[in-house]
Amino acid sequence: MNKKYILIALLLLAVALGVYQYNNQQSVPSLPQEEQEEKTSEEKVSLEANYTGEGVLLNDDGRWIILYDEPGRPAAFLLLKFTENSICDLGEGEKTCDASNFIHGTTIEVSGYKEGQELTIVRMTGENKVLPN
């Protein structure tokens, strides 16, 4: 019977410790809304993106990817995801990204959130033209 009480006490202690740690985690303070709006798009990219790179924009069966070289891994690729906040500048100024305006084979630079083989675009720039063969 004593073992049962000790086990329950240890379980309660573990739960209490977990709750304590969760409540005491320090979060990154965010900027007031006015200051966020004053940031340029490049400053926003540096605050929000965890990946930057350059490569070639390709359409793979209706999915847009970036093909790029990485040490030890030539012809690597990432699947590109676009949100309503994704900004593209493909030679016509900064606009919300519209995949219907993309040209297969365009050389691009990207910044965004990389998770596995997927990159959610924060900003994509390039000259909307195909490389010569």
- The answer, yes or no, to whether residue 41 has pLDDT greater than 70, is no
Task: Quickly name the fold that domain 41-130 has.
Answer: OB fold (Dihydrolipoamide Acetyltransferase, E2P) (2.40.50)
- The answer, yes or no, to whether residue 24 has pLDDT greater than 80, is no
Q: Using a CB cutoff of 8 Å and minimum separation of 24, what contacts does 40-48 make?
A: 41/87, 41/94, 41/123, 42/123, 44/122, 45/111, 45/122, 45/123, 48/113, 48/122
49 contacts 113 by C-beta, under 8 angstroms: yes
- Give the residue with greater pLDDT, 26 vs 95: 95
- pTM of the prediction? 0.60
- The answer, yes or no, to whether residue 107 has pLDDT greater than 80, is yes
The mean per-residue pLDDT over the stretch 69-76 comes to 87
Residue 77 confidence (pLDDT)? 93
Residue 127 confidence (pLDDT)? 86
